[in-house]
Amino acid sequence: MHNREGRLAVEYIIIKKSFINKKGEKMKINIIYASWFGNGKKVVGELAEILKGKGLEVDLCCVNVDKIDSLTSADFYIFSSPTRKFGLPSEMKNALLGFTPPFEGVKYALMTTFMDPRTIALKKMESILNEKKMIKAVEDLKIKANGLKGPLEENYEVVMDKFAAQIIECLKKDVM
C-alpha cells in the first residue's frame, strides 16, 4: 500500500528549511491548469498538497475560471491540460500564448490527463513555452482517465509522487 502521508511527514522536517530562493524568499510554484470534468483539478490539487507538504508555496490557477496574469511570479511553473481530440484545448492554448514568464529561463513541467494515448497536447504546450524561452525541467506526467469523469488509472498516485520528486530535485539545485 502506498503511504504518502507518513513519508511526507518525515520529508517535511528535513526539507522545509531548504526551499529558500536566491532572493531569500520561500520558493513558489504556480500550477496553471485546465479541467472540464474534474480529472485535472483532482490531480493538480493532490500535487499541490504534496508540494506544500514539502515546504513550498503553491498557487493554483484554472484557465477556465481565473486569469493567469492575476498570479504573482514564481520560481517554477507546472502546466496541466486535458486532451481534447488528441490535442490541446483552445482555452489552454490561448492561456499559454498570453502567458508572460517572469524571466527568461524560468523552469517548468507539463502534465496531462488523457483517455487516448495518442495525445499531442504535451508537445503543443512544450512548443509554445519553448518559444517563450522557458526551460523544461522534468519528464512529462501523463495520467489516464478511464472515462470523461474518471476514474483515473489505478495507482496514478505513484507516478504523481515520482513527478513531484523530480520537481523537488530540480528545485534543490536552485536553493540558496
DSSP string, 67-122: -GGGSPP-SEEEEEEE-BTTB--HHHHHHHHH---SSTT-EEEEEEEESSTT--HH
Confidence of residue 18 (pLDDT cuts 50, 70, 90): low
Answer whether residue 5 is part of any domain. no
State pTM to two decimals.
0.86
pLDDT in tens, 137-165: 999 999 999 988 889 889 999 999 999 99
Answer whether residue 9 is part of any domain. no
Answer whether residue 127 is part of any domain. yes
Angle at 101 between CA 97 and CA 107, to 5 degrees: 110
Phi then psi for residue 167, to 5 deg, are -65, -45
Instruction: Indicate the length of the chain as a whole number.
Output: 176
Specify the pLDDT at position 175: 67
Answer whether residue 150 is part of any domain. yes
Q: What percentage of the chain carries pLDDT values higher than 90? A: 64
Q: What's the average model confidence in pLDDT over 98-102? A: 93
Answer whether residue 4 is part of any domain. no
Number of domains within the chain: 1
- The domain of 70 spans 18-172
Please give the mean pLDDT across all residues of the chain.
86
Answer whether residue 7 is part of any domain. no
Confidence of residue 94 (pLDDT cuts 50, 70, 90): very high
Q: What does the DSSP 8-state code read for residue 126?
A: H
Are 160 and 167 a contacting pair, CB within 8 Å? no
Answer whether residue 1 is part of any domain. no
Answer whether residue 156 is part of any domain. yes
CATH number reported for the structural domain that contains residue 78 in this entry: 3.40.50.360
